[in-house]
Amino acid sequence: MPQQNQINLQGRHAVITGAAQGFGLAITTRMVESGAYVSMWDIDAAELEKAAAPFGDKVRTQVCDVTDVGQIAAAVADSNAAFGTISILVNNAGITGPNDVTWNYPIDAWRRVIELDMNAVFYCCRAIVPQMIEANYGRIVNIASIAGKEGNANAAAYSTAKAGVIGLTKSLGKELTHTEVLVNCVAPAAARTRIFEQMSQSHIDAMLSKIPKGRFVQVEELAHLVAWLASEENSFSTGGVFDISGGRATY
């Protein structure tokens, strides 16, 4: 990776969901390096403890199922007690679900994907936006996907959920234009993370074949974009979709 530019998040308090690995851990790393305090939320207690160890008192961990509004409320209270008002929210937690054609897609799997990948974004925004409004400052970055713009065959639930995240981002961004709370999302191509364990090899190969750059995005590359969107330097963009697709995105 080339030398990174400095992003100033000094003293900001960020909540990152799905923070124990993959995109979430890379985003945590970049934000801590930029001076932020990070509340790391994840459902996997063991992975969370291991991931947080290098950061010391710059992070606070919270085992949280973000599909459970009660657990979100408890995590918000704990995070506020640790680091004060939440000024940055990164909705990253997600799963891909199985690969199958829509007419054979398991109903239970569909519900799990929609609940975590889309509904949980709404739940977290609903819980945290009021304190951002009160402070008249906030940055929300939702992790969508190029699949939400184009649709991936054999991944209807994931594609639908990520399309929903894009729609939610646009709606919430417009609702908050009278404030200094900005809401954007990123639409990455796939990255080689543990989420690949949920996919068939044929699906992975199909995704790679669509990327003109001929490789998957690196988690650090996405983290750089998220850090800028979460900073004061991003002062005018809201309701936006920022592609990081290696040339795959066509609109």
Catalytic residues: 158
Strand positions, DSSP E, the chain = 13-17, 37-42, 59-63, 88-91, 138-143, 181-188, 240-244
Residue type, 122: F
- Tokens 């939702």 -> residue: 142
Q: How far is the C-alpha of 170 from the C-alpha of 83, rounded, in Å? A: 29
| Cα(147)–Cα(242) distance, integer angstroms | 13
Distance (Å, whole) CA 97 – CA 112: 8
**What does the alpha-carbon distance between residue 179 and residue 174 come to, in Å, rounded to a whole number?**
10
For helices 69-83 and 120-135, angle between their N-to-C axes, nearest 10 degrees: 40
